[in-house]
Amino acid sequence: MTQITSHSPIHVIGGGLAGSEAAWQIANAGVPVILHEMRGVRGTEAHKTDDLAELVCSNSFRSDDATSNAVGVIHAEMRMAGSLIMACADRHQVPAGGALAVDRDGFSAAVTQAVQTHPLITVVREEIEGLPPREWDQAIIATGPLTAPGLASAIQAETGADALAFFDAIAPIVYRDSINMDICWYQSRYDKVGPGGTGKDYINCPMDEARYNAFLDALIAGDAIGFKEWEGTPYFDGCLPIEVMAERGRETLRHGPMKPMGLTNAHNPTVKAYAVVQLRQDNALGTLYNMVGFQTKLKYGAQAEIFRLIPGLENAEFARLGGLHRNTYINSPTLLDRSLVLKSRPGLRFAGQITGCEGYVESASIGLLAGRFAAAERKGEAPSLPPPTTALGSLLNHITGGHIVSDEEPGKRSFQPMNINFGLFPELEPGSIVKPEGVKRFRGKDKTIMKRQLIAKRALAECAKWLGVQAPVLAESA
């Protein structure tokens, strides 16, 4: 049934997670939306389909623990705000220990269907090669890290600032039936049971010291894709290629994606692995597993050869090998106001990874905010900003002014992409952390856990108050 509305449409450019979420929030506020998506007319170097909100890297939305994990908190806040991305993720989750992982095809198909069938959303398959025309008095650019060159050039010309770029590397995906389970075993780290999980949600491949060192040598010597015209572009530390991490020191991987802690080899319980490679379920059928933390810029031939040195993956068949794509983001603290409007162009907002946030949920959450802000303005209302104590508010604050400015080089750009984390939240009120009764020593890890739990609890309460909804009742974290 078509809804009746007197409002002029808001244009959203980009049908990724941020753009889809922005369109959904606007439409659900009773304002029509025209969503412009170039895939279907022009592809990208990373996308494989024309579906909206396609996941091109991991299939994990990371931790869903809203009691003591910042990512879990933003999940909960987005659910309270009626997020389409979170609703579709919840419907298409696959087991992943303490994380919320999704069947990537089912997830993006669900987002596409919801957006295309909403009576107030019109999806137009076309490339927008420049800034929106002036007659689009309310528009959101949510083109993400793969913004087309024409639009990127127009943004640069409008802002007068250089857009920074960094590489994002994609992890390989392995067919489950090609993994040798006589060597590997199922177990989540510390046997943690998460949403939809059993505590045995990862496939683990053990290495002794000799195999680890041989693998490391091969990894460092592997044939990688050159930077070419992107020479000098920095990586985002949260998504470093595995071979770049290896070059940083022989112990780096053992304390990163290949750490053996919290895992016991089911085939040989008395022998502790020197290092462990984990694979996480990538689709609902359980036929595909991605190599956790193994994003790479190795050439395809080198990948297959080197990764088959991992015990249990000697005969691995790859549904998709790793790849490399370029991310671009703007200097948001300088260019955007608190409601994500470009200061030089009233009515034009930015959302998603192009603003300098990192991660699926972070990108979608900024789309959620941009959509709500734009809809409010269209209805003649002032945008209601989330409290800075919330995950949404703390991430917004980082994007619009929470970065570190160098006193030594005041003109130097210091803004960098960031995932949501407790370091972005305001400190608790003095005296908030109280030693539990009967506990003699209260410091270190125990104190940190309590601090995070209190920040999370405060965030959810403040977000519920801001939205005018009931705060979720959460089980205590294990």
pLDDT digits (tens, 9 = 90+) for 306-331: 999 999 999 999 988 887 766 788 88
Report, as an integer, the average pLDDT of 256-276. Answer: 96
Closest by Cα among 333, 331, 327, 371 to 349: 371
**Which residue ranges are tagged as binding site?**
14-19
Between 10 and 285, where is the model more confident? 10
Tokens matching residue 117: 């069938």
Residue 475 pLDDT > 70, yes or no? no
Give the model's confidence band at 165: pLDDT under 50 very low, under 70 low, under 90 confident, else very high.
low
Q: Is the pTM of the predicted complex or chain greater than 0.85?
A: no
**Which residue ranges are tagged as binding site for FAD?**
14-19
Residue 407 pLDDT > 80, yes or no? no
In order of 46, 69, 256, 278, 328, the CA distances from 259 in angstroms are 29, 20, 6, 9, 31
Residue 411 pLDDT > 50, yes or no? no
Return the pLDDT at 436.
Answer: 80
Residue 230 pLDDT > 50, yes or no? no
Give the model's confidence band at 478: pLDDT under 50 very low, under 70 low, under 90 confident, else very high.
very low
Report, as an integer, the average pLDDT of 201-207. Answer: 96
Between 440 and 376, where is the model more confident? 376
Residue range 8-163+327-398 forms a domain whose CATH class is alpha beta
Tokens matching residue 236: 């985002």
What is the CATH number that goes with domain 167-324? 2.40.30.260
Return the pLDDT at 161.
Answer: 59
Residue 380 pLDDT > 70, yes or no? yes
Between 147 and 443, where is the model more confident? 147
Domain with CATH 3.50.50.60 in the chain: 8-163+327-398
Return the pLDDT at 384.
Answer: 98
The rounded distance, in Å, linking the Cα atoms of 254 and 154 is 44
DSSP structure string for 410-464: TTS-----B---GGGSPPPPTT---PPTT-S---HHHHHHHHHHHHHHHHHHHHH
The rounded distance, in Å, linking the Cα atoms of 478 and 457 is 16
Return the pLDDT at 199.
Answer: 82
The rounded distance, in Å, linking the Cα atoms of 1 and 457 is 40
Report, as an integer, the average pLDDT of 320-349. Answer: 88
Residue 250 pLDDT > 50, yes or no? yes
The rounded distance, in Å, linking the Cα atoms of 398 and 404 is 10
Domain with CATH 2.40.30.260 in the chain: 167-324
Tokens matching residue 57: 């890297």
The rounded distance, in Å, linking the Cα atoms of 37 and 15 is 5
Residue 406 pLDDT > 50, yes or no? no
pLDDT per position as a tens digit, 38-58: 887 776 666 677 899 999 888
CB environment 338-347: b (16+ within 10 A), e (fewer): ebbbbeeeeb
Which range among 79-88, 104-113, 115-124, 435-444 shows the weakest confidence by mean pLDDT?
435-444
Tell me the average pLDDT of the chain. Answer: 88
Report, as an integer, the average pLDDT of 419-444. Answer: 82
Tokens matching residue 1: 């049934």
Between 237 and 39, where is the model more confident? 39
Return the pLDDT at 418.
Answer: 80
Q: What percent of the chain has pLDDT over 70?
A: 87
Return the pLDDT at 162.
Answer: 62
The rounded distance, in Å, linking the Cα atoms of 371 and 300 is 40
Between 176 and 47, where is the model more confident? 176
Do the beta carbons of residue 322 and residue 303 sit within 8 Å?
yes
Return the pLDDT at 419.
Answer: 87
